[in-house]
Structure 1
Amino acid sequence: MPTADRLRSRSTRTRRRRWAAALTAVALALAGTVLGAGDAGAESNGGVRVMPLGDSITEGTQVPGGYRIGLWQRLAAGRYTTDFVGSQFNGPGALGDHDHEGHPGWRIDQIDANVTGWLRTHTPRTVLLHIGTNDILQNYNVGGAPQRLSTLIDHITTTVPDADVFVATVIPLSNSGQESAARTFNAAIPGIVQSKVTSGRHVHLVDMHGRLTTSDLIDGVHPTAGGYDRMAAAWYDALRSVPGSIGQPGGGTPGVIKGVGSGRCLDVAGASQTNGAQAQIWDCNGQANQQWTPTAAGELRVYGTKCLDVYNRGTADGTGVIVWDCNGQDNQRWRLNADGTITAVGANKCLDVSGAGTANGVKVQIWSCGGAANQRWTRT
């Protein structure tokens, strides 16, 4: 990095160290450590935005990540590019995107009191709703639960009218009295969903109760790992049955990636398709060497078969970024973050325009994340 950049203020260096430390922690977690529940890390791969919405069964109590693990794995295997969204964040490294909107202990009315704000913030294309278990466990006006659910669905479809909303029946409960109440609640859901469909809303029923039995529960309420995986299969089948709800197999939509600091686009030098061709910035022109497609595997593909690649799997500041045949290695995996930065997963560093340059032909590299304009990008 040029001398001018090394002379940045002490406060900027401090911020860089804090960013690097935070991102290192995330990288270690993604390597296999279970991430604790908390505010979302706002991971994104630029795919179709899907909000898992509900209570502890969405959060994954007993098995952190819950059904989201198996669902993510199925989506990736099916070559769908999806972006889980929400204000919460947890799960293991096997879960490629940890964002969700699952709130342990919450009833329908509590989700309803907050849902409009979450939807406006995260603008999901698709919503996966499993809610009502705590109304039954807390014996909270159970007879009124179907109407509360109907009102919640109205608030969701009004706030994001173009979204597909998948409404699940609640899973079984081991306590016989509570299971009876769950069955009564579930019996009302098909009629609620049909009423929304009749009014022109994009609402779909998912029979989750029928996919599990009490033998799939670890504590009488929450599923075992196998039970959560059965939930994942049910969600996946439902999503695939509704065209557009998770996009098309094979990745996201090609688009340009524009540098915030330069106003120029991420570009393959000379429109080369040769392995090792340098990534740079250049005036945006919409040509094939500026069309990048995010995939469920975390790649940024160009020309269909080449991937944005950190040279020689390097991790040092200043390592060049090139294109290479896609091979699935960590140096070809990228994470699109909510603040506009793009993280090289293998190096845990940010896609960076060398020297904060703005001219055509300035090379692109990786550098410790600091949030400066030469590390922020927009995708259109």
Structure 2
Amino acid sequence: MRARLRRLSACAAALVAAALLPSAPAHAESNGGTRVMPLGDSITEGTQVPGGYRIGLWQRFGGGGYRVDFVGSQFNGPGSLGDHDHEGHPGWRIDQIDANIVTWLRNTNPRSVLLHIGTNDILQNYNVSGAPGRLSALVDKITATVPNADVFVATIIPLSNSGQESAARTFNATIPGMVQSKVNAGKRVHLVDMHAALTTADLIDGVHPTAGGYDKMAAKWYDALRAVPGSIGDPSAPTGGRIVGVPSGRCVDVPGATTTNGTQLQLWDCHGGTNQTWTRTSSKQFTVYGTKCLDASGSGTANGTPVVIWDCNGGTNQQWNVNSNGTITSVQSGLCLDASGYGTANGTKLQLWSCTGATNQQWRV
């Protein structure tokens, strides 16, 4: 009986382990841009919020004019994430990443590597005192395999459990010195203090970030990458694209291709015309025709305020945040870009409305 129970337990453990491992990618996506490998565990994969920090990071790349190609053997995230490739492995420790890293690097040859690993060493209480040495050896293996890559090594984010957080802080305290030793040896290694970017209030389950927490990670990675010339290539001049309503599949459209100030925008079948071509600028504007901006009419901040075109003037009513949950919010009011009355038909007017989480406030940019 005991032998049978042991066999059953082993089978159950194998099934659990298989469930925790990420599935094989459907296919690799490439836009020919600068190759960046997001590398780590479930926090890289995006557990709880599929896509994780990669969503906000991808949006920042686009907004800044950077052409980046995420690389890795794994594949997941929402449709609004333009490139789903990554190397995030739920449940994996440093030693497990180390055992596979050379193959992954040789397959993809990244220009930059974003490394966030060590959380599972803490959670599994796996020879925690040896974790700093394992991390150092992993970084050495990365720099030896892709010596021309910039390697960004992050401290691990906070943990809600006080004992595990104490161990995480002890582990994190070793990372700056380790990184500096690599720099002194001429290696292209950079420290990213990710622990300082989040608090336990940013965690959804005590381990993984909320959508807002993941976006804080995205901002931290983006700032670190931009601080190292060439790590994500050079920004290009902004190019235009479409803003598409998620439930309708229709485009944000200037009716009749008019250029008249105050014209309220609408949904319309996408056709690629200049009246549906929007450019996201570094000033958080969406421009059309080169001179007109997406505008909250009359600087309105109330529900139902029409969203119109107007000469670009730099006002906050012409500034917009593109969020990881698919919403586009006015910087001035915090209200969402909204398809009136949950409409999906041609001619549905666009307005500002309190953010509700409904699909008529979700957009693909």
Calculate the TM-score normalised by the size of structure 1.
0.57
- Structure 2 match to 1:240: 226
User: Could you tell me which residue of structure 1 aligns to residue 131 of structure 2?
Assistant: 145
Amino acid at match of 2:57: L
Per the alignment, residue 260 of structure 2 pairs with none
Give the equivalent residue in structure 1 for 2:142.
156
Equivalent residue of 2:115, what SS? strand
Give the Cα separation in 1 of the matches to 2:163 and 2:240: 43
Following the alignment from structure 1 to structure 2, what is the Cα–Cα distance between the partners of residues 37 and 213?
A: 30
For each residue in 1:321-377, what CA deviation from the matched residue of structure 2 results, as whole angstroms up to 9, or x when unmatched?
A: xx9979648xxxxxxxxxxxxxxxxxxxxxxxxxxxxxxxxxxxxxxxxxxxxxxxx
Distance 1:207 1:237, change over 3 A: same
Residue aligned with 1:70, SS: helix
* One-letter amino acid matched to 2:166: S
Q: Choose which of 198, 217, 222 in structure 1 pairs with 2:208.
A: 222
Percent identity, please: 76
What corresponds to 1:261 in structure 2?
none
How far apart, CA to CA, are the structure 2 residues paired with 1:164 and 1:297? Answer: 30
- Kept in 1, the 8 Å contact 2:159–2:168? The answer is yes
Tell me the equivalent position of 2:89: 103
Q: 2:54 aligns with which of 54, 58, 68?
A: 68
Q: 1: distance between equivalents of 2:26 and 2:110?
A: 15
Once residues 97 and 230 of structure 1 are traced to their aligned partners in structure 2, the CA distance between those partners, rounded to angstroms, is 19
- Pairwise CA distance, 1:137: 0.1
Partner of 1:17: none
Task: Tell me, in whole angstroms, the C-alpha distance in 1 between the residues paired with 2:142 and 2:92.
Answer: 17
Contact 2:240 / 2:277 at 8 angstroms: preserved in 1? no
Q: Cα distance, 1:297 vs. partner?
A: 6.5
Residue 190 of structure 2 is aligned to residue 190 of structure 1: no
Q: How does 1:274-293 map to 2 (within 5 A)?
A: none
Correspondences of 1:251-270 after superposition (within 5 Å)? none
Structure number with greater CO (CA < 8 Å, separation at least 6) is 1
- After superposition, the C-alpha distances for 1:267-312 in whole angstroms (9 at most, x for unaligned) are xxxxxxxxxxxxxxxxxxxxxxxxxxxx7969xxxxxxxxxxxxxx
What is the one-letter code of the residue matched to 1:104? P
For 1:339-354, list aligned pairs within 5 A: none
Match of 1:174, as an amino acid? Answer: S
Distance 1:297 1:191 in 2: 44
Q: Partner letter of residue 61 of structure 1? A: T
Following the alignment from structure 1 to structure 2, what is the Cα–Cα distance between the partners of residues 173 and 103?
18
- Structure 1 residue aligned with 2:167: 181
Decide whether aligned partners of structure 1 residues 173 and 153 sit closer, same or farther in structure 2, where only a CA change above 3 A counts: same
Q: How many angstroms apart in 2 are the aligned matches of 1:123 and 1:134?
A: 26
- Matched letter for residue 172 of structure 1: P
Instruction: Give the Å deviation of 1:38.
Output: 3.5
CA contact (8 A) 1:50 1:85 kept: yes
| Alpha-carbon offset, residue 41 of structure 1 | 1.9
Question: Where does the alignment leave 5 or more consecutive residues of structure 1 unmatched?
Answer: 1-35, 253-294, 299-322, 330-380
Structure 1 327/202 Cα, relative in aligned 2: closer, same or farther at 3 Å? farther
Measure how far apart 1:178 and its partner are: 0.1
Q: Which runs of structure 2 are paired with 1:160-171 in the superposition (5 Å)?
A: 160-171=146-157
Match of 1:136 among 98, 116, 122: 122
3-state SS, counterpart of residue 236 of structure 2: coil
Partner residue of 1:334?
Answer: none
Q: Distance in 2 between matches of 1:133 and 1:98?
A: 23
Aligned to 2:107: 121
Which amino acid counterpart does residue 80 of structure 2 have in structure 1? A
Give per-residue Cα distances to partners, 1:27-61, cap 9 Å, x unaligned.
Answer: xxxxxxxxx95425211111000000000000000
Structure 2 residue identity aligned to 1:231? M
Out of 55, 74, 79, which is 2:41 matched to?
55
Structure 2: tracts of 5 or more residues without a match: 1-21, 243-271, 279-365
In 1, Cα distance between equivalents of 2:71 and 2:41: 15
Q: Distance in 1 between matches of 2:114 and 2:241?
A: 22
Q: Supply the distance in 2 between the matched residues of 1:63 and 1:158 (Cα, whole angstroms).
A: 33
2:69, 2:224 → 1: CA distance?
Answer: 17
- Partner of 2:165, secondary structure, is helix
Residue 175 and residue 117 in structure 1: after superposition, are their counterparts in 2 closer, same or farther (change >3 A)? Answer: same
- Counterparts of 2:241 and 2:191 in 1: how far apart (Å)? 29
Distance 1:57 1:165 in 2: 18
Q: Which runs of 4+ in 1 moved over 6 A?
A: 295-298, 323-327
Is the 1:81–1:296 contact (alpha carbons within 8 Å) kept by the matching residues of 2?
A: no
Corresponding residue SS for 1:157? helix
User: In the alignment, residue 181 of structure 1 is paired with which amino acid?
Assistant: A
1:250 and 1:296 mapped to 2: Cα distance? 12
Pairwise CA distance, 1:128: 0.2
Distance in 1 between residues matched to 2:170 and 2:240, nearest whole Å: 39
d(CA) in 1 for partners of 2:54, 2:36: 11
> Which residue in 1 is equivalent to 2:98?
112
**Separation in 1, partners of 2:211, 2:195:** 16
Which residues in structure 2 correspond to 1:37-52 (within 5 Å)?
A: 38-39=24-25, 41-52=27-38
SS at match of 1:52: strand
SS in 1 for 2:35: strand
**Structure 1: how far apart are the matches of 2:163 and 2:217?**
23
Larger mean CA deviation between 243-252 and 106-115 belongs to: 243-252
3-state SS of paired residue (1:65): coil
- Please give the per-residue CA displacement for 1:187-235, whole angstroms capped at 9, x wherever unaligned: 0000110011011110000000000000000000000000000000000
**What letter matches 1:238 in structure 2?**
A
